[in-house]
Structure 1
Amino acid sequence: MSISLSVHGAAHTVTGSCYLLQAGRTRFLVDCGMFQGPKTLKALNYGDFPFKPEEIDFVLLTHAHIDHSGLIPKLVKHGFSGPIHATHGTIDLLTCMLPDSGHIQEMEVEQLNRRNARRGHPEVTPIYTVEDAEVALRAFSPVAYDTWIEPAEGVRARFWNAGHILGSASIEIEIATGLASPRSMRLLFSGDIGPEVTSFHPAPDSPQNLDYIVCESTYGSRVRPPMTLSSRRDLLAAEANEALKGNGVLIVPSFAVERTQELLSDLLALVHERRIPQVPIFLDSPLAIRATDVFIDHAHELEEGAAFRHAMRSPILRTTESAQESMMIERIDGSHIIVAASGMCDAGRIRHHLKNNLWRANATVLMVGFQAEGTLGRILQNGAKAVRIQGEEVKVRASIRTLDIYSGHADGPGLARWVEERGPVSRGIILVHGEEDEIAGLHERLSSRGLDGERIFAPELDAVFDLLAETPATRERPAPRRLQPEVVGHPDWHNDLSGLWLDLTEMLDKAADDKSRRVILRRIRRALDKEQA
């Protein structure tokens, strides 16, 4: 019998997690996530799966974040009919997250089709709808931590706390090899590994003595200073006090699940302790509002659950469900705080608030989570002087700050310790869910700790590993590729075009007079004519 692993997402990028395992006639997925970031990468969400959904027997889901779960409704829509195994917390979160994802896609496609109609372009259809998401939810089957399940003959799986978000798990898998030796092949999919400091979860846990680990590497090259809950709040208080000076507005793009709840808990604690001003705090994300209700329901499972439940009753916390309520925030005079999704500024209501505030010198945008290449959040972090939002140019006069203390991911030393504690790992470590520099940093860190560098792999998108080969993880490359490796994990031509447009606009604005502007435009026209000749 052959056993293979195909890496169909999160290869040299941090989104689109999807791994296909084939053991004899059994085919199953670990995660089925949505790609985020540059348009070229997001276009994969609209294309065909690199496998036949109807041939997949079951899915094991590490956690609820959309980059791990977001294409499950599409999978069901296109023929998958098996069970999806996930923890209770994950399923409860997805009850609101997947329909919300379907709603966003319906709205974005509606707006796109209006623009396409004006341009004479054909209409497009959503990846899936709210109804598709609700149908997919019927396929979920809850599992408990530290309990074996047998989803197919010869395959066992066990979920371990990953400390990342509510319900998150690393998944241990045993597959009968069919060889003379009775020992099964043992794999561990890390999912996303949580940091050492979190308000809600204990340290991640997992088994030892494995054949393979498929490990995330989001922050593989980074080292965070030692942090406690108290020191984290000290840093947040300093940023908030500076931002709120002189009727300032603090805008926090935040991931709707876990990051938002931790952030609100800290902000409200600081207000209660009178360490920051008592100003209105707006939670402007229908998804985050519903996710917060799920956290309240699961408060008994959280380490700071009682304090969190109490904080969410604060009168200064104002939730805005409707779009009209969201737009009314713009009329607020005086200092206030807005927490809105999405965390990378690529969708949702945060773009509305950025459009209304980036040009204001008294506004502060505080990044508290990972910003992938090509996203608006990364572009702002990189110091852009102007950006395009919803087709309009917006000057950046606001202060752009980063406070990397709310990430749900362990840093490089934390990941390396986690891998070491899983040892011995006999055949290979496969690094996924990271950009190139982070993968390289974790590879070097693991090698420096005595792990065999030749048994540490960083697969490209759609790479296939023969897990039973004598040389561990012999790679095959199916054709055709969905994307060339040099495209994945980097800004694409859409990012280049947007940057060029902004640079050209700035150049024309700074030109001395109309004659100078015409000279600039003639030079560009000659370059275009030469390119087309």
Structure 2
Amino acid sequence: MSFTMRFCGAAGTVTGSCYWLTTPTASFLVDCGMFQGNKTLQALNYEPFPFEAAQIDFVLQTHAHIDHSGMLPKLYASGFRGPVHMTSGTRDLLSFMLADSAFIQEMETEQLNRRNARRGRPEVTPAYTRSDAAECLRLFRAVDYERWVEAAPGIRFRLWNAGHILGSASIELEISQDGQDKPLRLLFSGDIGPDHKLFHPDPEASSDFDYVICESTYGGRARTRRNEEERREILAHEVRTALQAGGNLLIPSFAVERTQELLADLTLLEQSGAIDHAPVFLDSPLAIRATEVFERHAHELEHLSRQPHLIDNPNIRFTETVDESKAINRIRGGAIILAASGMCDAGRIRHHLRQHLWRPDSTVLLVGYQAPGTLGSLLSNGASEVTIQGDPIKVRARIREIDVYSGHADHGELVDWIGDRMPIRRLILTHGDPEASAALRDAVVATGFPVDHVTQPQIDDVIDLETGALEPGDRKKIRRVEPDAIIRPDWHNDAAQLLLDIREEIDRAADDRARKVVIRRLRRVLEER
């Protein structure tokens, strides 16, 4: 059997993390994540895996975020029955996150099939169901940090705290080699948290590796370092300004970690008088479950013992049912609404955006990374009109962004983390767009690391772990998506924008006669095909 690693996701992009390793004794995965972003990327979730699921012996899971874990139920449904090793924090989060992901897929598929029926198109099926999500939980095995575990003959691993979210881990891996005294040593960074992050110690790991596979999400971005007081004051300024405008403040927020950080800081700001008391709605069943898990794991988290109780705060309203969520629409101003998802590509936040984006007195505060092609990215880039559930919505609300709650290490922190892992035989940069990965590569090379020992793979590329040679995926047989389709808005985004532009051009026409002229010109273009 070959001794290889295939990059099945998170190569040239930040989503779909999945590494497939084959050795003489086992075939296994590190992560099995869902693709998010534009529809071209998301379509990969519905295609067959580039491996036989039933032939995978085990999975090593870095953390619970869906772009790293979201295809585990599909892996189970496709025939996988091996163990999935992870921390107890990751296990507890995934116990409801995967079911939530399945529910969203089932609901969106149901809505799509209703539209397809009206258009005479065939039905589609979700990537997996809630039943698949429930069944795959039986395969989860909790592992303590910094304890060696044998996963298969000649293969052992241990987990290091990555400081990203509750339960997040970097994975150190040793694989025995025939005829060699020393094992092959690999380190998968997972997602690395920033220094001095709320709830977590700084990231840790060992050193001296043959391969380090490192994320590069913010490889090209340096953030101004902020302490706790400065971070809260930035948030307080945004809250005060938004509520003074007379409308509501919408915060699209990732359900795990980001939401809990915001709840803690909003509570402290209200208690200190830095912001006026205002109703805070947590309108995300997933985020509510995650908050409960955080409180159960409080003993593992820094600061939480001296933070206010997130669940018991009387000023935070937890809206679990659809009716409770819709009732928020009756509040026209003075409220803070947190809802998932953080990139605005799914979840209840889309419902709230439909209600508020057209209101000049409303504010949308983006607090995290926005992948290309997502609704959050369109808002971040200044779109004047967007489409939500088929309806064009004018963007008149204030769109604001802050970068003080990031769960990822920035450029300098990544360089330092890599430096602490030296010596390294080969550095592989993944989980970032090409510009971010290139910026991190250049910074590491500037420290004296050989440029020809840095690899930036694309999806479905394969590396020979014995020689270090990278083999590009065969475009016809292996590569499922071209790199250019990953890094920019796809044709779905272009088509949606074109329809908005057509509507705007027709609306701008002086009278009905002028509108007919616009339509006639468009028809001529179509007839010239």
**TM-score (structure 2 length as normaliser):** 0.98
Aligned equivalents of 1:521, 1:277: Cα separation in 2: 52
Structure 2 distance, partners of 1:474, 1:43, is 26
Specify the SS of the correspondent of 1:41: helix
Q: Taking every aligned residue pair, what percent have the same amino acid on both sides? A: 55
Partner in structure 2 of residue 18 of structure 1: 18
In structure 2, give the amino acid aligned to 1:288: A
Q: Note if contact 2:38-2:490 (Cα within 8 Å) is conserved in structure 1.
A: yes
Q: Shift in Å at residue 131 of structure 1?
A: 1.1
Tell me the CA shift for residue 25 of structure 1.
4.0
Shift of 1:248: 2.3
- Secondary structure (helix, strand or coil) at the match of 1:330 reads helix
CA distance in structure 1 between the aligned counterparts of 2:211 and 2:450, rounded to whole angstroms:
13
Q: Secondary structure of 2:41's partner?
A: helix
CA distance in 2, matches of 1:520, 1:503: 12
Q: Could you tell me which residue of structure 1 aligns to residue 140 of structure 2?
A: 140
Query: 1:6 offset after TM fit, Å?
Result: 0.3
Q: Which residue of structure 2 aligns with residue 526 of structure 1?
A: 524
Contact 1:244 1:250 (8 Å CA) reproduced: yes
Superposed, 1:386-425 pairs within 5 Å as 386-425=385-424
Distance 1:453 1:344 in 2: 34
Q: How far 1:309 sits from its partner (Å)?
A: 4.9
Deviation at 1:130, TM superposition (A): 1.0
Give me the whole-angstrom Cα distance separating, in 2, the residues matched to 1:386 and 1:476.
39
Deviation readout 1:439-465 (Å, 9 max, x if unpaired): 111111111121111111110110000
> 1:316 & 1:492 partners in 2: Cα distance?
42
Quick check: 2:460–2:478 contact (8 Å CA) kept in 1?
no
Secondary structure of 1:450's aligned partner:
coil
1:409 to partner: Cα distance:
0.3
Structure 2, gaps ≥5 residues long: none
- The equivalent of 1:501 in structure 2 is 499
**C-alpha distance in structure 2 between counterparts of 1:334 and 1:382, whole Å:** 25
SS of equivalent to 2:240 = helix
Counterpart residue identity of residue 104, structure 2: I
- The separation in 1 between residues aligned to 2:98 and 2:310, in whole angstroms, is 27
Match of 1:242 in 2: 241
The corresponding residue for 1:467 is: 465
Count residues in correspondence: 527
**Any conservation in 1 of the 2:268–2:308 contact (CA below 8 Å)?**
no
Per-residue deviation, 1:467: 1.1
Q: Residue 486 and residue 333 in structure 1: after superposition, are their counterparts in 2 closer, same or farther (change >3 A)?
A: closer
Instruction: Give the corresponding residue for 1:357.
Output: 356
SS of residue matched to 2:249:
strand
Residue 43 of structure 1, CA deviation: 0.5
**Could you tell me how far apart the structure 1 residues matched to 2:32 and 2:26 are?**
17
Distance 1:526 1:445 in 2: 53
1: CA distance, partners of 2:180 / 2:108: 53
Comparing 196-205 with 78-87, which one deviates more in the overlay? 196-205
Q: Which amino acid aligns with 2:280?
A: I
CA deviations 1:415-461 (Å, max 9, x no partner) are 111001000102x1111111121111111111112111111111011
* Structure 2 residue 177 is the aligned partner of structure 1 residue 197: no
1:409-488 to 2 correspondence within 5 Å?
Answer: 409-426=408-425, 428-469=426-467, 472-478=468-474, 479-488=477-486
Residue 470 of structure 2 aligns to which amino acid in structure 1?
Answer: T
Residue matched to 1:45: 45
Contact 2:292–2:311 (8 Å) recurs in 1? no
Indicate whether 1:109 and 2:109 are aligned: yes
Q: 2:357, 2:393 within 8 Å by CA — same for their partners in 1? A: yes
Paired residue for 2:266?
267
Structural mapping, 1:505-516, within 5 Å: 505-516=503-514
1:133 corresponds to which letter in structure 2? Answer: A
Distance 1:412 1:146 in 2: 26
Q: In 2, are the aligned partners of 1:211 and 1:425 still within 8 Å (CA)?
A: yes
Q: 1:295 to 1:303 in 2, by over 3 A?
A: same
Who is 1:283 aligned against? 282
Tell whether the 8 Å contact from 2:31 to 2:69 is kept in structure 1 after alignment: yes
SS of residue matched to 1:32 = coil
Q: Hey, what's the Cα distance between the residues in 2 that align with 1:391 and 1:37? A: 18
1:80 is aligned to 80
SS of 1:310 mapped into structure 2? coil
The amino acid across from 2:447 in the alignment is: R
> Counterpart in 2 of 1:131?
131
Structure 1 residue 35 corresponds to structure 2 residue 31: no
- The Cα shift of 1:152 comes to 0.2
Off by >4 Å, runs of 4+ in structure 1: none
Correspondence for 2:379: 380
Residue 517 of structure 1: CA displacement?
Answer: 1.5
Query: For residues 454 and 400 of structure 1, what CA distance do their matches in structure 2 show?
Result: 42
Match for residue 301 of structure 1? 300
Q: Secondary structure at the match of 1:182?
A: coil
Specify the alignment match of 2:256 in structure 1: 257
For 1:98, what is the secondary structure of its paired residue? helix
Contact 1:198-1:229 at 8 Å conserved across structures: no
Mapped contact 2:247–2:332 kept (Cα < 8 A): no
CA 1:422–1:131 in 2, change beyond 3 Å: closer, same or farther? same
Offset at residue 304 of structure 1 (A): 1.2
One-letter amino acid of the counterpart of residue 312, structure 1 = I
Distance 1:410 1:304 in 2: 19
- State the secondary structure of the residue aligned to 1:486: helix
Q: What is the CA deviation profile of residues 380-437 of structure 1, one whole-angstrom value per residue up to 9, with x for unaligned ones?
A: 00000000001101100000011011111001111111001000102x1111111121
Note if contact 2:163-2:202 (Cα within 8 Å) is conserved in structure 1.
yes
Unaligned runs of 5+ in 1: none
SS in 2 for 1:303: coil
Q: Deviations over 1:79-137 (max 9, x none)?
A: 00100000000000001101111111111111111111111111111111111100000
Distance 1:231 1:195 in 2: 16
8 Å contact kept, 2:245–2:362: no
- Contact 2:253-2:339 at 8 Å conserved across structures: yes
User: Could you tell me how far apart the structure 2 residues matched to 1:149 and 1:503 are?
Assistant: 57
Displacement of 1:199 after TM fit?
Answer: 1.3
Contact 1:265 1:312 in 2 (8 A): no
Question: Which has the larger displacement, 29-38 or 447-456?
Answer: 447-456
Is this contact kept in 1: 2:25–2:152, CA < 8 A? no
CA RMSD of aligned residues (A): 1.1
Note the C-alpha offset of 1:476.
Answer: 4.2
